[in-house]
Amino acid sequence: MESEIVPKITKMTVSGKKQSMGFEVPCAIAEENGHTNTPQKGLLPEDADVASGVLEAVSKSTLSPQVVQVSEEQITVHTPAKKSSKAKPQIDVKAELEKRQGGKQLLNLVVIGHVDAGKSTLMGHLLYLLGNVNKRTMHKYEQESKKAGKASFAYAWVLDETGEERERGVTMDVGMTKFETKTKVITLMDAPGHKDFIPNMITGAAQADVAILVVDASRGEFEAGFETGGQTREHGLLVRSLGVTQLAVAVNKMDQVSWQQERFQEITSKLGQFLKQAGFKESDVAYIPTSGLGGENLVTRCQSSDLTQWYKGKCLLEQIDSFKPPQRSVDKPFRLCVADVFKDQGSGFCVTGKIEAGYIQVGERLLAMPPNETCTAKGITLHDEPVDWAAAGDHVSLTLTGMDIIKINVGCVFCDPKEPIKVCTRFRARVLIFNTEIPVTKGFPVLLHYQTVSEPATITRLLSVLHKSTGEVTKKKPKFLTKGQNALIELQTQRPVALELYKDFKELGRFMLRYSGSTIAAGVVTEIKE
Ligand code: GDP
């Protein structure tokens, strides 16, 4: 059956670099549903996942009040009263949003998986089949890769060249490419592969709504990626802890195992167990047998009887199309965390980032925190097109005037001057300690990661250890914290950071702590001190 999905791609800047995460996180066990509304939910691995699914549940139940998020379908029209102080005429954001997307929903996608699982080849081939790369260019890649003795990398080269292009041209530390499915506009987030790029990978993953996990079905290879040291688990846990709840697993290189159903089942059952423990709902994970190299089951369902005799499910593109659209916080005050800042040709300068909450119109005043200074949004660019407005979920580039570029760093948050984000150097958080060998003590130096922020910080206080199922304090002022423990701590950052309470803004209130190249904890902000 031919897929009805219509390809339309505008830009291609995905890096195909190799991936190595280099950190360990525990395999924790979540309840059937991944999250729960039970007020008694705890954060220990025995009954909780490392992921924010549980952090969410805990914080929802114990940190009240509730955060109300609005799904795209439910977005209410903004009344002019809300932003009456702003000079620009009001735009009916909901109506415009629908018009712009032609009824299509926006979805941010990240591709993860063990090195050599075939991520670059799979995505390169998918984009080629969607019409992004013309035949002549593809032929050139084939010739060149053959000459270099790496014929099998031709599709991956599609991605590599754009990586180079990106280095030469406009700077965007998270490369993006856009393509359309029947009902969605997909932004493919770059997941740069090298170990040095972990902060970028986190940046990419932190902005993703959904993920494709690529595993190599070849004998021994799936196992290598899945065992300790492999990146399959690490990436799975990472994206889940960053808020991704829906996953498509591409069981790739199925050609290498003659499209055997038994092998597919073996892999999906092993992965299924793990993903459930990591906090993914079974109903939110789909497994698709693919061949990135051959192109089977990518944009159309595979016709080969080897597969059709036992697989009647979706192809990869259909699966991407059927992801549920995420909830978007359009009705909250404007928030954009800067992913990049650069000088443009014209006046002013540009910042890029994903709008986490609210919306913006050209001409509006914005407050940057830090440095607590205002500027004007002279222009908004979405997917390389100038637009009059943009809303939560959009990756935009803003042209700003009335401010010195020197003041703005990656990690600054642009917000509504009427309802600014909080800036602090000291805050309290509820954390889950990962698989760290070294006990976490008072004075522990860490790197605080959230959104695009990466800031040196110190754990200044260990306030309490919390009970695994009740969330009650089991120990006050512990001397140290060890793996799997759920605790309340206080952190002090070197420089001021813009943060929100998790209960108010999920996206700006959850973070990871890294130490010496490893992720040692995931947490949510519970109290902002000063
Ligand atoms: P990445 O590190 O995950 O991005 O993996 P690559 O896309 O660079 O692929 C690694 C190697 O696996 C390359 O030699 C690819 O040609 C090969 N490969 C990728 N997908 C498939 C597939 O579906 N079948 C086979 N047989 N080889 C594949």
CATH number at residue 341: 2.40.30.10
| pLDDT tens readout for residues 350-404 | 999 989 899 999 999 999 999 999 999 999 998 888 999 999 888 899 999 999 9
The single residue listed with the structure tokens 């200044």 is: 460
Shared domain for 255 and 353, answered yes or no, is: no
More confident of the two residues 323 and 134: 323
Residues 178 and 253 in one domain: yes
Together in a domain, 518 and 487: yes
Say yes or no: 384 and 518 in one domain. no
Per-residue pLDDT tens for 475-491? Answer: 999 999 987 788 999 99
Q: Is the pLDDT of residue 166 over 70?
A: no
Quickly state the pLDDT bin for 191 (edges 50, 70, 90): very low
120 lines ligand 1 (CB under 6 A): yes
pLDDT tens, position by position, 222-246: 998 888 767 788 788 778 876 788 9
115 assigned to some structural domain: yes
Q: How many domains in the chain?
A: 3
Atom of ligand 1 nearest to the CA of 19: 2
Q: Of the ranges 331-345, 419-433, 483-497, 500-514, which one carries the lowest mean pLDDT score? A: 500-514
Considering only CA atoms, which of 519, 488, 494 is closest in space to residue 424? 494
SS (H, E, C) 396-455: EEEEEECCCHHHCCCCCEEECCCCCCEEEEEEEEEEEECCCCCCEECCEEEEEEECCEEE
Least confident of 55-59, 87-91, 125-129, 331-335: 55-59
Residue 121 alpha carbon to ligand 1 centre in Å: 5
Q: Given 296, 322, 348, which residue is the final one in a domain? A: 322
Residue 194: CB within 6 Å of ligand 1? Answer: no
- By most ligand atoms within 8 Å of CB, the mutation choice from 17, 260, 291, 293 for ligand 1 is 293
Mean pLDDT computed over 189-196: 44
42 lines ligand 1 (CB under 6 A): no
Q: What percent of the chain has pLDDT over 90?
A: 40
Measure 275 CA to ligand 1 centroid, in angstroms.
Answer: 23
If one compares 200 and 233, the residue with the highest pLDDT of the two is 233
pLDDT value of residue 203 = 57
Q: Which pLDDT score, from 0 to 100, does residue 471 have?
A: 66
The residue nearest atom 2 of ligand 1, judged by CA position, is 116
Instruction: Indicate if the pLDDT at residue 57 is higher than 60.
Output: no
Q: Which of 244, 326, 282, 287 is nearest to 33 (CA)?
A: 282
219 has pLDDT over 90: yes
User: In this predicted structure, what is the pLDDT of residue 268?
Assistant: 97
Q: From the CA of 113, how far away is ligand 1's center (Å)?
A: 12
The ligand 1 atom at the shortest distance from the C-alpha of residue 114 is 3
Predicted confidence (pLDDT) per residue in 443-462, tens digit: 999 999 888 888 999 999 99
Average pLDDT over residues 67-81: 37
197 confidence band (pLDDT: 50, 70, 90)? very low
Q: Output the CA–CA distances (angstroms, integers) from residue 61 to 16, 37, 66, 503, 529, in the order listed.
A: 41, 7, 8, 10, 22
pLDDT of 159 reads: 60
Answer yes or no: is 17 within a domain.
no
Indicate the range of 76-90, 172-186, 454-468 predicted with least confidence. 76-90
Q: Which atom of ligand 1 is nearest to the CA of 153?
A: 16
Q: What is the pTM of this model?
A: 0.64
Q: What is the CATH number of the domain that holds 245?
A: 3.40.50.300
On whether both 229 and 109 belong to a single domain, the answer is yes
Q: How remote is the CA of residue 104 from the centroid of ligand 1, in Å? A: 32
Is residue 448 included in any domain, yes or no? yes
Task: Write down the pLDDT at residue 240.
Answer: 81
Tell which of 282, 302, 322 closes a domain: 322
Higher-pLDDT residue of 6 and 140 is 140
Enter the tokens of residue 244.
Answer: 């991704």
For 7-21, what is each residue's pLDDT tens digit? 333 333 333 333 333
pLDDT band for position 101 (cuts 50, 70, 90) = low
Residues 509 and 429 in one domain: yes
**CA–CA separation, 360 and 97 (whole Å):** 12
- Strands 105-113 and 184-189: what pairing? parallel
Distance (Å) of CA 382 to CA 99, 287, 345, 355, 471: 15, 32, 18, 11, 43
Q: For the chain, give the mean pLDDT.
A: 76
How many helices (H) and strands (E) are present in the chain, helices listed first?
11, 26
Does the C-beta of 291 come closer than 6 Å to ligand 1? yes
Q: Find the Cα–Cα–Cα–Cα dihedral 52, 58, 64, 65, rounded to 10°.
A: 40
Q: Is it the case that residue 50 has pLDDT exceeding 80?
A: no
348 lies in the same domain as 445: no
Q: How far apart are CA 215 and CA 159, in angstroms?
A: 19
Q: Higher pLDDT residue, 325 or 99?
A: 325
Give the atom of ligand 1 at the shortest distance from the alpha carbon of 113. Answer: 3
Residues 459 and 375 in one domain: no
Cβ-in-10-Å burial (0-12, 13-18, 19+) of 340 comes to: middle
Percent composition of the chain: helix, strand, coil (DSSP 3-state, to 5): 25, 30, 40
| CB 225 less than 6 A from any atom of ligand 1 | no
408 pLDDT band, cuts 50/70/90, is: very high
Domain boundary pick from 415, 446, 473 = 415
Residue 12's nearest CA partner among 239, 186, 253 is 186
What letters, b where the CB count within 10 A reaches 16 and e where it falls short, cover 6-27? ebebebbbbbbbebbbebbbbb
Rounded mean pLDDT of 132-154?
74
Residue that has been written with the tokens 């928030």 in this structure: 335
Q: Is the residue at 13 inside a domain?
A: no
Alpha helices for 31-114 (secondary structure H): 52-63, 93-101
H/E/C letters for each residue in 172-218? Answer: CCCCEEEEECCCEEEEEECCCCCHHHHHHHHHHHHCCCEEEEEEECC
Residue 220: predicted pLDDT: 92
Side-chain half-sphere CA neighbours of 51 within 13 A: 33
What is the predicted pLDDT for the residue at 428? 96
| Residues 185 and 105: beta-carbon distance below 8 Å | yes
Q: Residue 14 falls within a domain, yes or no?
A: no
What pairing do the DSSP bridges indicate for beta strands 285-289 and 327-328? unpaired
Residue 304 CA, ligand 1 centroid: distance in Å: 20
Is a pLDDT exceeding 70 seen at residue 4?
Answer: no
What does the block give as tokens for 118? 């075939």
Q: Please give the pLDDT value at position 200.
A: 52
Q: What contacts 273, CB < 8 A, 6 or more positions away? A: none
C-alpha to C-alpha distance for 223 and 213, rounded to whole angstroms: 15
pLDDT at 192 over 50: no
pLDDT given at position 201: 55
120 in any annotated domain: yes
Q: Cα–Cα distance between 475 and 203 in angstroms, integer?
A: 34
Radius of gyration in angstroms for the set of CA atoms belonging to the chain, rounded to a whole number:
23
Per-residue b or e along 47-83, where b marks 16 or more CB atoms closer than 10 Å to that residue's CB: bbbbbbbbbbbbbbbbbeeebebeebeebeebeeeeb
* Residue 117 CA, ligand 1 centroid: distance in Å: 6
Confidence of residue 188 (pLDDT cuts 50, 70, 90): confident
User: In this structure, are 364 and 229 located in the same domain?
Assistant: no
Query: Does the structure show a pLDDT above 50 at 419?
Result: yes
Q: Where are the alpha helices (DSSP H) in 105-197?
A: 119-129, 135-147, 154-168
Higher pLDDT among residues 414 and 330, named by residue? 414
Same domain, 70 and 206: no
> Looking at ligand 1, which residue's alpha carbon is closest to its atom 22?
253
Query: What is the residue with the minimal CA distance to atom 6 of ligand 1?
Result: 118
Give the domain range for residue 209. Answer: 103-322
4 domain residue, yes or no: no
296 inside domain: yes
Interval 63-76 mean pLDDT:
36
Task: Provide CB contacts within 8 A for 333, sequence distance 6+.
Answer: 357, 358, 415, 416, 418, 419
Mutate to test the pocket of ligand 1, among 17, 112, 121 (most ligand atoms within 8 A of CB): 121
One domain, residues 402 and 454:
no
- Same-domain pairing of 71 and 137: no
